[in-house]
Structure 1
Amino acid sequence: MRTTHALVQVAEVLMADQADRHWGYDLSKRAGVRSGVLYPLLTRLLDAGWLTDGWEDPSQLTERRPPRRYYELTDSGRRELGAVLQKAKVDPRFQGFTIGWAQ
């Protein structure tokens, strides 16, 4: 998968958050990636097997809204996105471009 700024931003959020489920809208806001860029990227991550997805159970909702789609990192995704972030740390294109890399 081609390493883009959007991929690095989304990878950082996915890897930093220990939550099992990630919501598209939340990912968009936290990563600073527009939905028109985010959702095609999430589709590529799903196709690569780095993410799985599902829908909230409508019977469990306490608010009046449609169920949300969630995304979960796979073990493969955790390894691959970790490698993407490691490479981005030394790639000149991403120097000075971090969301919160601790190391």
Structure 2
Amino acid sequence: MRKTHSLVQVAAALMAEPDAKHWGYDLSRRSGVRSGVLYPMLTKMLAEGFLTDGWEDPATIEEKRPPRRYYELTDHGKLELGATLRAARADQRFYALNLGWV
């Protein structure tokens, strides 16, 4: 994947909790990447094996809403996105993203 600000922001949001289930809306909010950019990126990450996905069990939903789709990092995704973040920390184009904590 091409290293863009959006990719680095989403990678940072995913890697902040690498073993968690991530909801699209929450990823958009935490990364600051709008949904029109986020969801095509998640689709590419799924195709490249960085993520797996699934649907929330409808029996566990207490509110009146449809099930949400979740995304989980694969081991391959953790390695690749970790490498993306390390490279971004060393790249002057991404200094404004403040990736020192990731």
TM-score, shorter chain, exceeding 0.5: yes
Query: Contact 2:51–2:73 (CA<8 Å) still a contact in 1?
Result: yes
Q: Distance in 1 between matches of 2:86 and 2:30?
A: 20
Moved over 6 A (4+): none
Q: Report the secondary structure of 2:37's partner residue.
A: helix
- Partner in structure 1 of residue 15 of structure 2: 15
- Partner in structure 1 of residue 39 of structure 2: 39
Tell me the C-alpha RMSD between the 2 structures: 1.3
| TM-score normalised by L of structure 2 | 0.94
Q: Distance in 2 between matches of 1:18 and 1:5?
A: 19
Aligned length: 102
2:15 aligned partner, one-letter code: M
Q: Deviations over 1:11-60 (max 9, x none)?
A: 00100125520000000001000000000000010000000000001111
Q: Report the secondary structure of 1:96's partner residue.
A: helix
Q: Distance in 2 between matches of 1:46 and 1:18?
A: 15
Q: Distance in 2 between matches of 1:78 and 1:19?
A: 9
> Which runs of no fewer than 5 residues in structure 1 stay unpaired?
none
| TM-score normalised by L of structure 1 | 0.93
- Partner in structure 2 of residue 102 of structure 1: 101
- Partner in structure 2 of residue 28 of structure 1: 28
Matched, 1:82 2:82: yes
Identity fraction in percent: 62
Which range moved further: 66-75 or 85-94? Answer: 85-94
1:76 aligned partner, one-letter code: H
- Partner in structure 2 of residue 93 of structure 1: 93
Q: Distance in 1 between matches of 2:49 and 2:74?
A: 7
Q: CA deviation at 1:96?
A: 2.6
Q: Distance in 2 between matches of 1:45 and 1:101?
A: 24
Q: CA deviation at 1:102?
A: 1.9
